[in-house]
Amino acid sequence: MAQPQAKTDALAARVAGLAVAGSGWLGAARRDAAVRLSAMGLPSRRDEYWRYTDPVSLTQTVVLPAALFETADEAPAFDGIDRLRLVFVDGVFDPAQSDDPTLAGVEITALRAAGTTDIHWARDLYGVLEARGQTPVQRPLATLNTAHATEGLLIRATGRAAKPVDLIYLRKSETSDAMVHHCIKVEAGAELTVLENGPGAARFTKVMEVDVAEGGRFHHVRVQGRDAERRAATHLFARVGANALFKSFTLTANGRLTRNDAVIELAGHDGVAHVAGAAMGDGDFHHDDTVFMTHAAERCESRQVFKKVLKNGAVGVFQGKILVKPGAQKTDGYQISQSLLLDGASQFLAKPELEIYADDVKCSHGSTSGAIDEVALFYLQSRGVPRRVAQSLLVLAFLAEAIAEIDDEAIAEDIRSRLEGWLARHEG
């Protein structure tokens, strides 16, 4: 479809100076993405799935500067977990700061190195799930990333990974504009945990494509950095095979603008996919979870659990969909989105959708929004719990359902301590 001239110009300005396609399989995938992108144009507020989030700061040419954030009040995320550390600085992979990427059961290569080879397993994945995830809802920022990202890792689990792989995104520049694209393949029967933490860049555009083959298990836990001014648009595209498991949890505390898209397809029978998130915002904070869960096979289970705690004008957005395709009988789909508004200035905007074309299914969704329960607060106070402690307890209880989606107890504890820390710092 031809785009209006203004849209074409805006796209040309945005991609000017970005990496060109190049050669090899990666070049072909980038060229294909560039063609798709020019047909879509960049997103705007007029698009149905951007009605609650203004994408302008993500699409404009100029990167809005974000002050660096140094802190000593909290250990880095996952510090106590035995893991393989792979470090990016302003979106560029830094082998010097990273651990040696050899890990039993896992192959790790940098996109930069693998892209120039003639053949690679990732050629069947790079841009492929992203392209599939464009229907029925377009996600142009992901296509922009596929067309122009030069950094990222290609991770393939062939057995049970000895320990989690942690992707650490450090930031040294106030105006960095980074695009990172990862491909992860979990082979049949293999198991892998991927952790992610750190702000990434002043403006971070990320895509992670995950293919979980039959009987594979994939766990993903991410902590988006505490930098108050950073902006991020992340995309998770996953295909879940028969009897496979996919689980993803995201903690977002602070950040000026965060848009997390998750596009998941349960492609094989008896698959399980859970996505969850906890978001904490105080003041100038806009956080958007947009989830598209497709049931394309029989007897699959999906869960979406999203909780947001908002104060001082923070804005939380949830757009979640369960699509049950014809023939995906015995589907069990569940979705809950809730927000706790700690004061009168904050906002929660939600669009929890169901689209169902099979009759023998069990699908439900719930969405609630309100203030902290005064009766519960009063009860705790009457038992001698000071008001601020009681408030923290109730907030943590509110978030518990999302955190319960993390299988590894040590990782869940790390997340819990971060939530407690955030609440202590943002009292009153």
Place of tokens 């907030």: 395
Place of tokens 């991770």: 155
3-state secondary structure of 195: strand
3-state secondary structure of 181: strand
Smallest distance, other proteins to C-beta of residue 269, A: 16
Q: Which of 22, 159, 366, 386 binds other proteins (CB under 8 A)?
A: 366
**Dihedral pair phi/psi, residue 425, rounded to 5°:** -75, -25
The burial of 268, by beta-carbon neighbours within 10 Å (0-12 exposed, 13-18 middle, 19 or more buried), is given as buried
Query: Would you say 361 or 376 has its CB closer to other proteins?
Result: 361
Instruction: Measure the CA–CA gap between 129 and 116, rounded to whole angstroms.
Output: 21
Q: Which of 362, 389, 410, 424 binds other proteins (CB under 8 A)?
A: 362
Helix (H) / strand (E) element for 415: namely: helix 409-425
Residue span binding other proteins (CB under 8 A) among the ranges 220-228, 283-291, 299-307, 368-376: 368-376
Query: Would you say 93 or 348 has its CB closer to other proteins?
Result: 348
Instruction: Measure the CA–CA gap between 231 and 177, rounded to whole angstroms.
Output: 10
Query: Would you say 8 or 329 has its CB closer to other proteins?
Result: 329
Closest residue by Cα to residue 400 from 355, 314, 336, 341: 336
Site pattern 369..408 for other proteins (x: CB under 8 A):
xxx-------------------------------------
How many whole angstroms from its chain centre is CA 337? 16
Site pattern 326..355 for other proteins (x: CB under 8 A):
xx-x---------x-xxxxxxxxxxxxxxx
- Residue pair 182/149 in contact by the 8 Å Cβ criterion: no
Residue span binding other proteins (CB under 8 A) among the ranges 55-63, 107-115, 364-372, 375-383: 364-372
Query: Would you say 269 or 365 has its CB closer to other proteins?
Result: 365
Q: With contacts defined by CB under 8 A, how many residues of the chain interact with other proteins?
A: 36
How many whole angstroms from its chain centre is CA 349? 18
Smallest distance, other proteins to C-beta of residue 238, A: 23
How many whole angstroms from its chain centre is CA 220? 9
Smallest distance, other proteins to C-beta of residue 339, A: 7
Smallest distance, other proteins to C-beta of residue 97, A: 43
Q: Which of 57, 173, 367, 381 binds other proteins (CB under 8 A)?
A: 367
**Dihedral pair phi/psi, residue 352, rounded to 5°:** -90, 115
Smallest distance, other proteins to C-beta of residue 340, A: 8
Query: Would you say 95 or 327 has its CB closer to other proteins?
Result: 327
Q: Helix-strand-coil percent breakdown of the chain, rounded to 5?
A: 25, 40, 40
Name 274's Cβ contacts closer than 8 Å, sequence gap at least 6.
Answer: 246, 247, 248, 302, 303, 304, 305, 405
In the window 72-131, what residues touch other proteins (CB under 8 A)? none
Smallest distance, other proteins to C-beta of residue 370, A: 4
- Residue pair 172/69 in contact by the 8 Å Cβ criterion: no
Site pattern 48..67 for other proteins (x: CB under 8 A):
x-------------------
Site pattern 185..204 for other proteins (x: CB under 8 A):
--------------------
Closest residue by Cα to residue 253 from 284, 288, 281: 281
Query: Would you say 362 or 387 has its CB closer to other proteins?
Result: 362
Query: Would you say 81 or 356 has its CB closer to other proteins?
Result: 356
If one asks whether residue 45 binds other proteins (CB under 8 A), the answer comes out as: no
- Residue pair 86/99 in contact by the 8 Å Cβ criterion: yes
Interface residue list for other proteins (CB under 8 A): 48, 326-327, 329, 339, 341-371
